[in-house]
Structure 1
Amino acid sequence: MTMKSVLEETHTFLGHLGLNEEPFGVYYDDAKPENAFGPKPGIPISRELEDQGNIDLQEMFKCFSCVIGNIWLARKKRRAAFISTEEYGCPGGVFYCSMMKPNLRFIEHYVTTGFDGTPVHGERYLPSPEAMRTFLAKVDPRKAPAKYCIFKPLSLFADNEEPEFVIFFARPEVLTGLFIQTTFTTGDVDCVASPFGAGCTNIIAWPLYYKEQGIEKAVLGGFDPSARKYLKTDELTFTVPWSLYKKMLAALPESMFNVDGEWTSVRKKVTRSAKAWGEDS
């Protein structure tokens, strides 16, 4: 499939789904797109500097910038978003997007129970730093193949560019269509995973985890309380590897979208949902 044909079939797919926002693609490159949304350069951070006590956390957080937050801006303006080692924005995001390894120990406490003897109570998303370390050791993103991790609308990809993954932002009725098209394409009842993680973990780090194992699996995400502010009400993320996405598009003619079945009633609910949220224009 050429990128042109993928875009044509994506348009058809979006029509079936009733989704009026095109998906994003994510890829790595040494060139940063013009007018892209991303963090400002921050102070140097690394596990080595942390172990030496040479990271000023207050200075680090002065340039805080969430990956999902920058993608939110890119979605609204139909532009690109990025993260890099120097322009990292978030000490968790820079790890999950493959920009820095190993992770800072700081996030093992920040995401869990905080730091003893300090007012930092932690986010309490996992029960202990040990549980967080187990999670981080498992997801363990590969080393980035280029300077920037870039997210942009699929239609902005040139003919010579390919994303590694395709990311949808959708509410439950539309997610129903995405989910079933994935199972119909693969024949695998376990082809969609929804493991714990930050917003960016589930759109890049977990998809990379499965890809590195040679597994074509979609990842459902958006359950991170810290990232919810950058998603629409009731909206989740659905990320598909590029290889599987092309198969899903090729399977459309034989799918439930082209028979007189239950999708007809679900599609009516999609329309009602769009109208309720003022997104039916």
Structure 2
Amino acid sequence: MKSRIAQAIDMQHQPVALLWSDSKPEGAVQFSPGKWGCVMWLAAGAAKGKAGACDRQTFGCVGGGVGLGFGDQYVTFPGGKDCFCHFLSSGNANWEQGRQAAEQLKPFMRPEAHDNFLHGERYLKTPELVENFIHNLPMTEVPKFYVLFKPLSSVDEKIETPEVVIFFVNPDQFAALTVLANYGRPDNENVIIPFAAGCQALGIYPYREAKRKHPRAVAGLIDLSARLQVRSQLGDNMLSMALPYPLYREMEANVAGSFLQRHTWKALVKEDS
């Protein structure tokens, strides 16, 4: 598949198709079962031309399992969901069960990861707020064995249909996608920015939006940890925009005749080059 949007906004990295499938492409990158990894590596790798695959044993981390639609994987977090609620907020050093779990896990964790487990990533103020965060996530059970990331250019629309099309873009391109998402709509709130892990903004949130009569785009790479994970692959100043496939088709059809062919956008592209 070729993207008129990608050509019009002069993307550095190609768009990524997220697909559900019962088979995976030959040579697709996949984590080993039970081994830690960041789903964002696979998405970024697809933007650079290499397909990636995940299943219920190879999603890398519990947040990634949730983000791709393999159900509530927070129950499998070391020490249980309560330890995760402390990990994302104030840390596990301040309660007995958390301290015991931290001691048991210490031989198996990198020093930075163990410090985060003990003292918290501090992305939410309290464990109770993390419980609310989990409750509000659009948990999904995908109906296929694999979730795939493929370069959009390698997708044959005759035999497969993406669930989501993902753009990794600089701030000017991000702004253009925001304008284009609203271009043909009667209202003006057609991009959302959920507080979510980087992979959740590529997966379960666009999945939810796809069920709406008028699905919205999902802005991402707001997750600071995800930004660190993909910086070496995609460079600095990258954001993501995930389009449920019906919205992607709508936006593709709206490129011709839009602001993307006018002076202001062309001046911004020239300044960026």
- The residue that corresponds to 1:64 in the other structure is 36
Q: Is the 8 A contact 1:18 1:270 kept in 2?
A: no
Q: Is the 8 A contact 2:33 2:57 kept in 1?
A: yes
1:266 is the counterpart of 2:268: yes
Matches of residues 167-186 of structure 1 in structure 2 within 5 Å?
167-186=166-185
Q: Is the 8 A contact 1:141 1:209 kept in 2?
A: no
Paired amino acid for 2:136: K
Matches of residues 66-81 of structure 1 in structure 2 within 5 Å?
66-76=38-48, 78-81=49-52
Cα distance in 1, alignment partners of residues 89 and 214 from structure 2: 30
Cα distance in 2, alignment partners of residues 73 and 90 from structure 1: 17
Tell me the SS of whatever aligns to 1:254. coil
1:100 is the counterpart of 2:71: yes
TM-score, normalised to structure 1, is: 0.80
- The residue that corresponds to 2:189 in the other structure is 190
Cα distance in 1, alignment partners of residues 213 and 128 from structure 2: 28
Q: CA offsets, 1:135-160, max 9 Å, x none? A: 22112322111111111111111221
Deviation beyond 6 Å, 4+ runs, structure 1: none
| Matched pairs, number | 241
Cα distance in 1, alignment partners of residues 25 and 197 from structure 2: 25
Paired amino acid for 1:147: F
Deviation at 1:107, TM superposition (A): 2.8
Q: Is the 8 A contact 1:97 1:141 kept in 2?
A: no
- The residue that corresponds to 2:108 in the other structure is none
In 2 relative to 1, CA 169–227 (structure 1 residues): closer, same or farther, beyond 3 Å? same
Cα distance in 1, alignment partners of residues 226 and 61 from structure 2: 12
Which range moves more in the overlay, 165-174 or 103-112?
103-112
Match of 1:24 among 5, 11, 16: 16
Matches of residues 48-197 of structure 1 in structure 2 within 5 Å?
63-76=35-48, 78-101=49-72, 103-104=74-75, 105=81, 106-115=83-92, 116-117=94-95, 118=99, 120-158=118-156, 159-197=158-196
- The residue that corresponds to 2:237 in the other structure is 234
Structure with more relative contact order (C-alpha pairs < 8 Å, separation 6 or more): 2
Alignment RMSD: 1.8
Cα distance in 2, alignment partners of residues 128 and 91 from structure 1: 20
Q: Is the 8 A contact 1:26 1:166 kept in 2?
A: yes
Cα distance in 2, alignment partners of residues 73 and 257 from structure 1: 27
TM-score, normalised to structure 2, is: 0.82
